[in-house]
Chains A and B, each alone.
Chain A
Amino acid sequence: MFDWRWDFTIEILPRLLEATGNTLIAAGLGYLIALVLGLVFALAQRTPYRLLTFAVRESIEFIRSTPLVLQIFFVFYVGPQFGIRLSPWTSGMIAIGLHYASYLSEVYRAGLDSVPKGQWEACTALNLSVRRTYTKIVIPQAIPTVIPGFGNYLVGIFKDTPMLSVIGVTELFHAATSIGAETYRFLEPFTLVGAIFLAISLPAAMLIRRFEDWIRASLGMTKLHAKD
């Protein structure tokens, strides 16, 4: 039963590790897109344009309530129907970036909401520009609230990258299924994939927690200041 083959393990390991690189690139790129789009979504909800606010809020709600894997298919297949051909990588990044942007926008929103109303009013009273209000006053105070959410979703996006394999993005999980299909051996590739995920996500989660503590400690002043 337990016929783990070490020679086979060693044979496939380089291929899996190479694909791990792609997984990390996919997670990183997707996260960057999500960070930017998420901020756009969050700020769009703070504009006075009712219709825009409503549309953005409902879209976020929709994206958050439906499966990512289906969204990946949607983005990949709907383009060609209308004559736009997107590569697996492009569609994958759009789908995963949008999906996580909808989560991150909520994190941004919670962060901005955590800044006391008096701070905004003080900025208005001091006649600070909107840009200055955000960059110098609001964002520094919102950071401690948003850091845990940002960390969790970074690990989350990493663990969701296997879904990209369904449209042929050659990341880690894709490599494992290919090996399985070629050799009919599943034990080693899938166990290794699990181990690689664990080996990355556990230390990452721990590092993020450390970072949280560090940033909270170094921003201690900011937090005290916010409690006026």
Chain B
Amino acid sequence: MSNESFPLKLEGGDVPMVRFDRVTKQYGDLTVLDSLDLDVKANEMVAIIGPSGSGKTTVLRMLMGLELIDEGVIYVDGQPMTHMEKNGRLVRAGQKYLRRMRSSIGMVFQQFNLFPHMTALQNCMEAPVQVLGLSRKEARERSLELLKLVGLDDKMDQYPARLSGGQQQRVAIARALAMRPKIMLFDEVTSALDPEIVGEVTQVIRKLHDEHSLTMLMVTHQMGFARDISDRVCFFYEGKIAEQGSPEQLFDNPRNERTAMFLSAVLEAD
């Protein structure tokens, strides 16, 4: 890849919190992301929607560094994330650099991925102690505060197996927040939940959005929720953003034919 056309860092007055610069990802012959450009401003809440296989989850996984990108560069807060500077050129980021950059991002997974052998509190304390080097006392205070935020301080000593899906997902949100990220990624966080408990998780996210200044990227199937909470909605189709705009504009007046078809299909299903 020629890196000449990618800046070493983003500068100027209007540096986005996240920038995907011509990012391509392929699995064998299948192009999952096709030269994607995407900017997310600080404190912006972006909802990503689209049919399955459209590459929307891949966006989050690559931003988190769980998957390598094939082409392009991802910048976080002006710094390259997938690459690092070496002798005035961008080279692929090393593990150490990636870990440092990752510390500003938190991620919540569809299947919660709590550590089954740790209590809710231990799940939240683990990374602050092991990664940030906080004392157990500090980590405990911070975790308790966050468990309270998600309304689970009374469940702190429970193991994940004893918690409902909604409760597990709220613990997972608290766990990600305990690292004090600037950016939060939500990967279909309500898809594995029963419909009647989706609300308890979306409420927590809404609260986060209202009370804390965080940049959020959210992949979701819930159009109503995306519409209520996001500042901008991106519709993914075949590895590209087919359409994006404010929720009102995209949901009420889709300009792209694909968007309209997708929306009518999912809204009918609801």
**Do A and B touch, yes or no (CB under 8 Å, in the complex)?**
no
